[in-house]
Amino acid sequence: MSLRPRLYDLYIGRVVLATILATWAVLVGMDIVIALSNEVSDFGKGSYNFSAALANVSYTIPRRAYTLFPTAAVIGALMGLGQLAGSSELTALRALGLSRPRLSISVAITLMLLTLLMVASGETLGPWGQRQADALKLMAKTRNSMAVARYSGIWAREGNIFLNADGGEEHFENRRRQVRLNNMRLYQLDENGRLSSLTQAAVAEHENDGWRLRDVRRIEFGERSASEQRIPEQYWVSKLDATELASGVTKPRNLPASELRASIEYRSRNGLDAREYEDLYWSRWFYPFNVLALCLAAIPFAFGSLRSGGLGKRLFLGIVFALAFWLLQMQFGRLAGAFHIDYRIAYAIPPILMLLVSWLLFRRRSN
């Protein structure tokens, strides 16, 4: 079987690319409409209105495209091959001596190129856009107690203390919201508006009535002097609303893989539960393998004689097959978290099973 690119590879790739992009546009468009409708409940909070909501949702388009791409890929690939099968073009290619696996490679090449673009977008544009969306929404909704600058992180004020953090994370642990801020600084002013102290903390975690500061560096400013001290841990009693701050930090599922890895290492060093971050981290690594395995496993449904149920039936079975794959993967991920199984094993099993099923289906149709 020759793997050199041929003219028919370009033709099949063009047809499949067109149907994937069309399917993708429909799915992302529907998701945007639903997201906009969900923003209606926040209208009137501060200066948050329809134009702000539209800008907010627009920033999240790269992330939504990344999330919906696997579904669009499998449906679009089946639609494209179904279009070729319906016009007997697949039959003509088969008559030229091309095997089903060889035709599937033409589809896989197109999918690989799109998947690589999505992986790059998921690590760059997606997180950046989500942060811009969070910052825009928080600036519009909150009043004097909170502000977020797009290029200087999170800002908040409580009395004569100003808080600034480079960013943070929000997650749920034991059904409770947990907020963590990174590289936090507290600027305390005296009655004359002069800086009296600066407190820097590598990490700040919200607890009950305040914040737990770790790896603290505190500088006290006198009239003609300054003194510095370092404290491993300090508790800051504060009524600053953690829920309001949480809307300005990035949820773990929206973090790039590099930051997820850093969070895993931090939580492991401090004896904290890192399973949620490990789950998301390894799902990013297996993302391209899942897309290719899913599409290759569903492709056999587009081949064969259309007399055995029609193209519509084949496409329906292929889509059901794709949904079954995602449910299977979700269950393996949850089992890995519940029984402390290595997430790499949990995420490797579903694509291996899909590829095995695909191989068996190709063998059956070839006989």
- pLDDT digit string (tens) for 97-153? 676 777 777 888 888 899 999 999 989 998 888 888 877 777 776 654 444 444 456
Do 292 and 111 form a contact (C-beta atoms < 8 A)?
yes
Residue bearing the bigger pLDDT, 121 or 92: 121
Buried b (16+ CB within 10 A) or exposed e, 50-59: eebbeebbeb
Position 260 confidence tier, pLDDT thresholds 50, 70, 90 = confident
pTM assigned to the model: 0.73
| Whether pLDDT at 329 is above 70 | yes
Range from 40-44, 54-58, 105-109 that averages highest in pLDDT: 54-58
CB-count burial class (<10 Å; 0-12, 13-18, 19+) for 297? buried
Q: What CATH architecture does domain 151-253 belong to?
A: Sandwich (2.60)
Residues 196-200: what's their mean pLDDT?
A: 92
How confident is the model at residue 150, as a pLDDT? 41
Residue bearing the bigger pLDDT, 161 or 242: 161
Percent of the chain past pLDDT 90, that is, above it, reads 16
How confident is the model at residue 152, as a pLDDT? 52
How confident is the model at residue 29, as a pLDDT? 95
How confident is the model at residue 115, as a pLDDT? 92
The alpha carbon of residue 13 and the mean position of all alpha carbons in its chain are separated, in whole angstroms, by: 27
Residue bearing the bigger pLDDT, 248 or 354: 354
Do 89 and 15 form a contact (C-beta atoms < 8 A)?
no
Q: How much is the mean pLDDT over the chain?
A: 80
- pLDDT digit string (tens) for 263-320? 788 778 767 678 888 888 998 899 988 888 888 777 777 665 444 445 566 667 667 7
Domain ranges of the chain: 7-124+273-366, 151-253
How far is the first Cα of the chain from the last one, in angstroms, to the nearest whole number? 18
| Whether pLDDT at 246 is above 90 | no
CB-count burial class (<10 Å; 0-12, 13-18, 19+) for 109? middle
Residues 186-206: what's their mean pLDDT?
A: 89
Tokens linked to 275? 């399973």
| Whether pLDDT at 59 is above 90 | yes
Residue bearing the bigger pLDDT, 338 or 139: 338
| Whether pLDDT at 225 is above 60 | yes
